[in-house]
Chains A and B, each alone.
Chain A
Amino acid sequence: MAEFNTTLKEQGDISIIKLKGYLDAHTAPVLENKFNELINNNKYKIVVDFQDLAYISSAGLGVFMAYIEKVRENQGDIKLASMSDKVYNIFDLLGFPLLYEIFKTEEEAIRKFSE
């Protein structure tokens, strides 16, 4: 089974989750726990860095859908950054770019929060 892990970085009131490995139905709970943790700590400004993510399945995409409403209700947002072409194509195919802001770099996503 492919590995997946996340690392969390705080920059001011923005939380940056870095994803690494394969995000699918089996590893999705790891990311869900991360989101739960942030929401429980009232941290609603979230940037997800996809730079080291090799693969995302539909179940992995479902995780973002599960939290976006709650985050936006609290004046926050989940912004996505640094996706490889392969990962972006999956997001694009399903129409995710209409729902999420996707940035080329993590810095751009962070900057967008402070605007």
Chain B
Amino acid sequence: MYLNRIYKNFRLTISIISALLLFFIVTLKAGNTLTIFSVLLDLVAITLLFSLSVQIKEYIRINKISFLSLTFAVAVILGILLMSIWTAQMFMDNLVQKLNAEFSVFSFASNVVGIIYFCIFAFGLTFVFVVLKEFYYSKRIKYNPIYFQLLIFFGILSALSFTIFQEINKAVSTAFMVVTILLIVKNSFGISWIAFLNKKEKYKLLLISLAITVLASVLVGYSADVSLHSETLKSYSTGFNTIALLILIYSLVYFGVLFFTVLFHLPTAEAFDRKAEEVSSLHLFSTLINQVIDFDELADTITDLTRKVSSADASWIVMKNGNTYETISQKNISEKDITEINNYLLYSGECKNLTKAKICSIDKSSVKSKLSEHLSSVIISPLKTQTEVKGYLLAARKSGLLFYDDEAKAINAFSEYASIALENSRLLKESIEKERLEKELDVAREMQRKLLPANDPKFSELHISSIFIPAFEVGGDFFDYYTDKENEFSFIIGDVAGKGISAAFVMAEVKGIFESLSKILASPKEILVKANRILSRTLHCKNFVSALYGKINFITSEFEFARAGHCPALLIRNGEIIKYQPKGLALGLDYTESFSENLDDLKIKLQKNDTLIFYTDGITESKNQLNEDFGDERFLKTIKINLNKDINQIAREIISEVSIFANNSTQYDDITLLILRWNKN
């Protein structure tokens, strides 16, 4: 269990053991100046630094600490180290002498204080070093670890050489140190990560790096000098003192360079921020394309982002609506100013045939004085689909400066995205609308079907067969039977002009009118004349209704009918087809007396096996793929071929012929077919 815990905290255990080792060796050494002790202490100190650095690095990685926070932490740590030095100077005057004195209670107590002091510096400087390493490896275009590895290598060499060769040849150690410092300088250039900070962060970094530079230079002073501080560290490890000095020099140089780099970057920080905004806006936009369903919301987002991308003061979108332009979204600009600028740029032909974003100065134009805001520069970019320009995206700026080319390019790219997004949104809206209309049509179709008789009535004297096939679009065909009167059967067949919901409503109204009139009036002509009069109150001038009202008297075998602009009645007698087309205007065409004067009533005495056929133009005007009509001729021919068959069979044959003729063409109009066969002598 305990071993497992040690394994888990392996690095921490090493650090603690190293610190304890340092403590014991210094206690045992007790003033002894043997080199072997010094080398041993250096090696333990390096081990301590290494184990600490691994832990700190891991901590930074796991917590994903930002670079700005790390820089701040470095400043704080350097501050703490400086405070430690000052505190040590105040209270620990005899520390070094006692540390290096013979073993005693005093030297032991000093050693306890000394090791804590040493550990603070070991931790602090390791932290600084790890941060510098992170900075070195971060966001480099070329990954080249060799210089940093060389730096560590020469750093350790100079540390050890000071211990080993200090007495023999100081020049070797100095040479190593010089090489290390040269590598430090080399590694301190090429700081690329600051480019990714925004303007505000750069200002903060400027202050922090200045503070670090000052702190590091003071600390370098303490470390390089023969002071209580450096002597204390040297008592534990001469090498560590050298490493500490090198790390402080590294941070001094690095943050010094950083300070100047940030200083030079500041003027371009705003531009960089804008570019970053552009990139993130474009990214945001590309995701928006597939997300935004609401057209107005999308237009608003586009205008908003446009303003941000181009650092414009105002932006708006206009869409073509016939020959005019309609503003669909605007930000920070009045309708009056939009109209003035549109008039100047769009209606004057200034931006005719625009294929990409254009920068226009309105500073010296006449329009400038008419504006309520002091706008002086406008970017106009077309919103185009594959085939046409649907509108324009515009952005305006108040300052006297014109927009730059790169801003125009950004707006251009932006408007291309915007066109796609707006088009997608429009198509989506259309398809939702279409779906809604289709549902409404379904309801209307169902309504139409319910208004028609569900079954054909049955009489011994008369056989009746009917077929109704609705078109894809709801139409206005109707038929109905009236069987209330004794010894009499009446029917109506008709067609309302036009299609869609309005035709379906008229049809429902007409059906109601005929149902009432059939109860109170006897003559087909009278019924049609009265129906026309009633319709004059409600029917729109471009609507009309063709209808044929028929009545069969079972006693007298008489068929009487009148036709108001409807397809003729067909009588099949003894193998011959007789067409009856008495005079008659469609309902709704004329509300004067002339309607009645031009409506003929016709009476036919029926004979056994007489077949009467009534139909709507949906049959004769059925189209094939070549747009040809089924026509009267084919219709009559089909009847002729099948006239000896049962009436249900005849109806089926007619519909089958029409279907074969139309093949896969859309059925544009309702088809209604009504066949009656007289069965009485």
Additional A-B contact list (14), CB under 8 Å, known A65-B541, A94-B546: A55-B627, A55-B629, A57-B621, A57-B669, A58-B496, A58-B544, A58-B546, A62-B498, A86-B629, A94-B585, A95-B584, A95-B589, A98-B590, A99-B589
Tell me which residues from 468 to 505 in chain B have a Cβ below 8 Å from any Cβ of chain A: 473, 495-500
Q: Does B536 contact A (CB under 8 A)?
A: no
Do A94 and B589 touch (CB < 8 A)? yes
Do B598 and A59 touch (CB < 8 A)? no
Chain A residues with CB below 8 A from B621, complex form: 55, 57
B497 touches which one: A2, A58, A95, A99 (CB < 8 A)?
A58
Tell me which residues from 280 to 334 in chain B have a Cβ below 8 Å from any Cβ of chain A: none
Distance from B157 Cβ to chain A, minimum over Cβ atoms (Å): 87
A25 touches which one: B498, B546, B581 (CB < 8 A)?
B498
Do B499 and A59 touch (CB < 8 A)? yes
Chain B residues with CB below 8 A from A62, complex form: 497-498, 542-544
Q: Does B382 contact A (CB under 8 A)?
A: no
Do A98 and B585 touch (CB < 8 A)? yes
Q: Does B594 contact A (CB under 8 A)?
A: yes
Please, how many angstroms separate the alpha-carbon atoms of A44 and B217 in the complex?
A: 98
Q: Does A30 contact B (CB under 8 A)?
A: no
Distance from A106 Cβ to chain B, minimum over Cβ atoms (Å): 24
Question: Taking A2-B627, A65-B542, A95-B584 as contacts, is the C-beta distance between A25 and B499 under 8 angstroms?
Answer: yes
Bits for B555-589, please: 1 = Cβ < 8 Å to A, else 0: 00000000011111000000000000101111011
Q: Which 7 A-B pairs have the closest CB atoms?
A: A95-B585, A58-B497, A66-B542, A62-B542, A94-B565, A59-B498, A94-B586
Tell me which residues from 587 to 609 in chain B have a Cβ below 8 Å from any Cβ of chain A: 588-590, 594, 598
Distance from B441 Cβ to chain A, minimum over Cβ atoms (Å): 13
Q: Does A61 contact B (CB under 8 A)?
A: yes
Question: Number of contacting residues on B, CB 8 A?
Answer: 34
Which of B495, B544, B589, B590 gathers the greatest number of chain A CB atoms within 10 Å? B589
Q: Does A13 contact B (CB under 8 A)?
A: no
Please, how many angstroms separate the alpha-carbon atoms of A93 and B588 in the complex?
A: 14
Q: Does A24 contact B (CB under 8 A)?
A: yes
B589 touches which one: A57, A63, A65 (CB < 8 A)?
A65
Question: Number of contacting residues on A, CB 8 A?
Answer: 23
Q: Which single residue of chain A is at the shortest CB-CB distance from B597? A: A98
Q: Does B668 contact A (CB under 8 A)?
A: yes
Distance from B583 Cβ to chain A, minimum over Cβ atoms (Å): 8
B541 touches which one: A66, A95, A96 (CB < 8 A)?
A66
Q: Does A101 contact B (CB under 8 A)?
A: no
Q: Does A69 contact B (CB under 8 A)?
A: yes
Tell me which residues from 51 to 79 in chain A have a Cβ below 8 Å from any Cβ of chain B: 54-55, 57-59, 61-63, 65-66, 69
30 inter-chain pairs at a CB distance below 8 angstroms, sorted by A residue, are A25-B498, A25-B499, A55-B629, A57-B669, A58-B495, A58-B617, A59-B498, A61-B497, A62-B498, A62-B543, A62-B544, A63-B542, A65-B541, A65-B588, A65-B589, A86-B629, A93-B566, A93-B567, A93-B568, A93-B581, A94-B544, A94-B565, A95-B565, A95-B583, A95-B590, A95-B598, A98-B594, A98-B598, A99-B585, A99-B590
Chain A residues with CB below 8 A from B543, complex form: 62, 65
On A, residues with C-beta under 8 Å from B are: 2, 22, 24-25, 54-55, 57-59, 61-63, 65-66, 69, 86, 90, 93-96, 98-99
Q: Which single residue of chain A is at the shortest CB-CB distance from B568? A: A93
Chain A residues with CB below 8 A from B583, complex form: 95
Chain B residues with CB below 8 A from A61, complex form: 497, 544
Q: Which single residue of chain B is at the shortest CB-CB distance from A26? A: B499
Tell me which residues from 517 to 556 in chain B have a Cβ below 8 Å from any Cβ of chain A: 540-544, 546
Q: Which single residue of chain A is at the shortest CB-CB distance from B599? A: A95
Q: Which single residue of chain B is at the shortest CB-CB distance from A59? A: B498
Distance from B360 Cβ to chain A, minimum over Cβ atoms (Å): 35
Which of A63, A95, A99 gathers the greatest number of chain B CB atoms within 10 Å? A95
Chain A residues with CB below 8 A from B589, complex form: 65, 94-96, 99
Q: Which single residue of chain A is at the shortest CB-CB distance from B668? A: A24
Chain A residues with CB below 8 A from B565, complex form: 93-95
Chain A residues with CB below 8 A from B473, complex form: 25
Chain B residues with CB below 8 A from A66, complex form: 540-542
Distance from A89 Cβ to chain B, minimum over Cβ atoms (Å): 9
Distance from B610 Cβ to chain A, minimum over Cβ atoms (Å): 23
Do B541 and A69 touch (CB < 8 A)? yes
Chain A residues with CB below 8 A from B617, complex form: 58, 90
Please, how many angstroms separate the alpha-carbon atoms of A59 and B668 in the complex?
A: 12
Distance from B506 Cβ to chain A, minimum over Cβ atoms (Å): 11
Chain A residues with CB below 8 A from B495, complex form: 58
Chain A residues with CB below 8 A from B668, complex form: 24, 57
Chain A residues with CB below 8 A from B497, complex form: 58-59, 61-62
